[in-house]
Amino acid sequence: MKKFCFFMILVCLSLASFLVSAESQTCPADLEGKCSDSDDWQGEFFPGIPQIKYEGPSSKNPLAYRWYNAEEEILGRKMKDWFRFSVAFWHTFRGTGGDPFGAATKYWPWEDGTNSVSMAKRRMRANFEFLKKLGVDWWCFHDRDIAPDGNTLEESNKNLDEVIELAKELQKGSKIRPLWGTAQLFLHPRYMHGGATSSEVGVYAYAAAQVKKAMEVTHYLGGENYVFWGGREGYQTLLNTDMERELDHMARFFEAAVAYKKKIGFNGTLLIEPKPQEPTKHQYDWDAATAANFLRKYGLFDEFKLNIECNHATLSGHTCHHELETARINGLLGNIDANTGDAQTGWDTDQFLTDVGEATMVMMSVIKNGGIAPGGFNFDAKLRRESTDVEDLFIAHISGMDTVARGLRNAAKMLEDGRLSELVGKRYSSWNSELGKQIEEGKADFEYLEKKAKEFGEPKVASAKQELAEMIFQSAM
Ligand code: XUL
Ligand code: CO
């Protein structure tokens, strides 16, 4: 009986997968499978979608920008240069809508249900059409998103080379380049204990070989940055972990990456992307301050910057604004993975940023930083599981771009208005005194301060004016 039940489950599962693959097609839906014989189909992937244009705030067209006007100058710089928007290949072209409880919900018409090299090439063509229609010049990738893993390192590299050659050809005559590339060191079971921090030396070597290749191809495509996100660089329990040794290994790994970057003449910025946990219980690049301390300890401070992701910020108990400011005041703000989390959900939901207040604070940091080039705004964000139309991919990016564009306009308005910086200046005005100057210049020891305290008597303490600060902030929205 048990055997029969198991057999029936198998039958049902294969029937279900047949139904699923019967739904997927190999070229756009409106061609009704006419291009299904071609391995490397080269038609239009988004036939119903026009070039996305700026139509202004009153437009009701979901396939138009309301706030993002690429060529318009804000604070002396074109909007497109403030943002340097990028599409994340892994979410937009590899996201399936699957979650730990449910199967994939997205069956893009160009997918044939395989992870073949020809499918990878078709996706790459779709990526370039998507970027062009959106008017975005950058995209980001992991090595294994864009090309299938092989049985050996050599085979994986060969697959990658084939897809990279196509990307090189497709970017000809356009400004499209990778904003950054990275190596996927978290999906394959070999990385279950980490890559650079694995307890197995062979895994460390394999991870190094993978990063070496990913850096080479990023450089070959004219990529501007290279990212390290250590999703499995951390621990599940300290009882079985030599944390000091693992952190030393991670530093050696980064040193080798710096040396190799210089050797191949890659001038892109190396970026560490902090995240506190998920998938690992504790990740070593917990937040911006932890990553900065790591870089300082190991003498790597001048070789790296940080890629701040807003949803990672909230997972570490901070706001995105806090993480951006921590990176900025340490001279480490290099790139933004522009997304947001869900206040009720509590994990890395990677949603498109749609909160104008949050976006305004993000842009306050970016303006103070003088921009983030050669970094940019990478939409490390995905459609919700229930959004399944091809046009949703466009709508989501347009909405995310418009949100930060509104943020930029608001932040600029606030700067020109001047009341907020006046409030902050006033709050610290006691520090403009002679004593304040002496302290800030390191010329006031404890004995001198005690003398001053006695001289002044009980100090006056002024209001922090938090509500007024919020009122001014609101009036710029
Ligand atoms: C995971 C995450 C990654 C990195 C690149 O949370 O953000 O996709 O951005 O590896
Ligand atoms: Co990210």
Ligand at shortest distance from the CA of 336: 2
Residue closest by Cα to atom 4 of ligand 1: 229
Contacts of 349 (CB under 8 A, 6+ apart): 311, 341, 342
Q: What is the pLDDT of residue 31?
A: 59
Q: What is the DSSP string of 413-455?
A: HHHHH-HHHHHHHHHTGGGGSHHHHHHHTT---HHHHHHHHHH
Q: Active-site residues: which are they?
A: 142
State the pLDDT confidence band at 14, using cuts at 50, 70 and 90. Answer: very low
pLDDT tens digits, one per residue of 346-383: 899 999 999 999 999 999 999 999 999 999 999 999 99
Residue closest by Cα to atom 7 of ligand 1: 380
Q: For a pLDDT cut of 70, what percent of the chain falls above it?
A: 91
Q: Helix, strand or coil for residue 270?
A: strand
| Ligand 1 pocket, mutate which of 91, 232, 275 (most atoms under 8 A from CB) | 275
Contact criterion met (CB below 8 Å) for 310 and 339: yes
pLDDT tens digits, one per residue of 77-88: 999 999 999 999
Please state at what angle helix 288-297 crosses helix 243-263, rounded to 10 degrees: 80
Whole-angstrom distance, CA of residue 150 vs CA of residue 160: 10
CA 72 → CA 54, 68, 361, distances in Å?
A: 10, 8, 21
Tally of CB atoms within 10 A around 136: 25
Q: What is the pLDDT of residue 42?
A: 73
Q: What is the pLDDT of residue 27?
A: 64
CA 329 → CA 78, 292, 325, 347, 467, distances in Å?
A: 25, 11, 6, 28, 25
Q: What is the pLDDT of residue 26?
A: 55
Of ligand 1's listed atoms, the one at least distance from the Cα of 90 is: 8
Query: Is residue 144 in contact with ligand 1, taking CB distance under 6 Å?
Result: no
Beta strands at 282-283 and 234-235: parallel, antiparallel or unpaired: antiparallel
List phi, psi (to 5°) of 54: -80, 125
Tally of CB atoms within 10 A around 335: 29
Query: Is residue 224 in contact with ligand 1, taking CB distance under 6 Å?
Result: no
Whole-angstrom distance, CA of residue 157 vs CA of residue 152: 9
Contact criterion met (CB below 8 Å) for 201 and 160: no
- 229 CA to middle of ligand 1, Å? 6
173: left (phi over 0), alpha (psi -120 to 50) or beta: left
Q: What are 266's two structure tokens?
A: 């890659």
Query: Is residue 273 in contact with ligand 1, taking CB distance under 6 Å?
Result: yes
Contact criterion met (CB below 8 Å) for 211 and 230: no
Whole-angstrom distance, CA of residue 72 vs CA of residue 312: 31
Nearest to 268, CA basis, from 427, 195, 121, 375: 375
Query: Is residue 219 in contact with ligand 1, taking CB distance under 6 Å?
Result: no
Contact criterion met (CB below 8 Å) for 140 and 181: yes
Residue closest by Cα to atom 8 of ligand 1: 380
Please state at what angle helix 201-220 crosses helix 153-171, rounded to 10 degrees: 20
Nearest to 362, CA basis, from 400, 330, 336, 401: 336
- 307 CA to middle of ligand 1, Å? 10
Can you give the C-alpha Rg of the chain in angstroms?
25
What is the pTM assigned to this prediction?
Answer: 0.93
Residue closest by Cα to atom 10 of ligand 1: 229
Of ligand 1's listed atoms, the one at least distance from the Cα of 348 is: 6
Instruction: Indicate if the pLDDT at residue 192 is higher than 80.
Output: yes
Query: Is residue 285 in contact with ligand 1, taking CB distance under 6 Å?
Result: no
CA 423 to chain centre: 33
Query: Is residue 145 in contact with ligand 1, taking CB distance under 6 Å?
Result: no
Ligand at shortest distance from the CA of 185: 1
Q: Helix, strand or coil for residue 281?
A: coil
- 380 CA to middle of ligand 1, Å? 7
Whole-angstrom distance, CA of residue 267 vs CA of residue 69: 30
Instruction: Indicate if the pLDDT at residue 412 is higher than 80.
Output: yes
Query: Is residue 229 in contact with ligand 1, taking CB distance under 6 Å?
Result: yes
| Ligand 1 pocket, mutate which of 337, 347, 353 (most atoms under 8 A from CB) | 337
HSE-CB of 259 using CA atoms within 13 angstroms: 7
Range with lowest mean pLDDT among 13-22, 27-36, 424-433, 462-471: 13-22
Q: Which helix (H) or strand (E) is 228 found in, with range? A: strand 225-228
Query: Is residue 348 in contact with ligand 1, taking CB distance under 6 Å?
Result: yes
Whole-angstrom distance, CA of residue 94 vs CA of residue 431: 53
- 130 CA to middle of ligand 2, Å? 20
Whole-angstrom distance, CA of residue 292 vs CA of residue 271: 11
Average pLDDT, the chain: 93
Q: What are 256's two structure tokens?
A: 């080798």
Whole-angstrom distance, CA of residue 90 vs CA of residue 368: 31
Q: What are 139's two structure tokens?
A: 């995209």
Nearest 5°: the CA angle 255, 257, 260 is: 110
Which amino acid is it at 291?
Answer: A
Nearest 5°: the CA angle 424, 312, 364 is: 25
Q: What is the pLDDT of residue 112?
A: 87
Per-residue pLDDT, averaged over 335-344, amounts to: 96
* C-alpha torsion sign, points 85, 88, 92, 93: positive
pLDDT tens digits, one per residue of 307-327: 999 999 999 999 999 999 999
Residue closest by Cα to atom 3 of ligand 1: 229
Q: What are 177's two structure tokens?
A: 């380049």
Residue closest by Cα to atom 5 of ligand 1: 229
Q: What are 202's two structure tokens?
A: 């062979």
Whole-angstrom distance, CA of residue 83 vs CA of residue 407: 11
Q: Which residues pair with 315 in a beta bridge?
A: none
Of ligand 1's listed atoms, the one at least distance from the Cα of 337 is: 9
Query: Is residue 309 in contact with ligand 1, taking CB distance under 6 Å?
Result: yes
- 29 CA to middle of ligand 1, Å? 31
